[in-house]
Amino acid sequence: MLTIDLSGKSILITGAMGAIAEPMVRKLVAAGATLILVDIKSEEVAKQTLCDWQIPPTSHVYFSADITDSTALSQVVTQSFRRFPALDTVLGHAGGCGLHPFLTTSEADYDRIFRFNYFAQVNLARAVFVQWIERKIPGHLIFTSSYVARMPHTQIPSYASAKAALENFARCMALEYADTGIRVNVVSPGNVAAGSSLKVFDEDPAYREFVRRVSLGRRNSPESIADAFVFLCSPLANEINGQILSPDYGAGIGNRL
Give percent of the chain above pLDDT 70: 87
The per-residue pLDDT for 256 is 44
Whether the pLDDT of residue 213 is over 60: the answer is: no
Q: What is the per-residue pLDDT across 1-39, written as a single tens digit (0 to 9) for each?
A: 788 999 999 999 999 999 899 999 999 999 999 999 999
Q: What is the pLDDT of residue 202?
A: 59
Q: What tens digit of pLDDT does each residue of 100-151 get?
A: 999 999 999 999 999 999 999 999 999 999 999 999 999 999 999 998 898 8
Rounded to an integer, the average pLDDT of 209-233 is 78
Q: Is 170 helix (H, G, I), strand (E, B) or coil?
A: helix
Residue-level pLDDT at 104: 96
Sequence spans of domains, the chain:
10-253
**Is residue 81 within a helix (H) or strand (E), and if so which, with residue range?**
helix 70-83
Residue in 207, 79, 90, 94 with CA at minimum distance from that of residue 153: 207
Window from 96-100, 137-141, 214-218 with minimum mean pLDDT: 214-218
170-179, 212-221, 222-231, 240-249: which range is least confident on average?
A: 212-221
Alpha carbon 17 to its chain centroid, in Å, reads 12
Q: Give me the pLDDT at residue 98, please.
A: 87
In this model, does residue 67 exceed pLDDT 70? yes
Question: For position 199, what pLDDT does the model report?
Answer: 56
Angle of helix 107-114 versus helix 157-176 axis, rounded to 10: 30
Q: What is the dihedral of CA 49, 51, 55, 59, to 10 degrees?
A: 100
Phi, psi of 223 (to 5 degrees): -65, -35
Does residue 174 surpass a pLDDT of 50? yes
Between 115 and 189, the higher pLDDT residue: 115
Band (pLDDT 50/70/90 cuts) for residue 191 is confident
pTM for this structure?
A: 0.91
For residue 257, what pLDDT band results from cuts at 50, 70 and 90?
very low
Domain range 10-253, CATH class: alpha beta
- Taking a C-beta distance cutoff of 8 angstroms, is the pair 220, 195 a contact? no
Which of the residues are catalytic?
159
Segment holding 244, helix H or strand E = strand 244-245
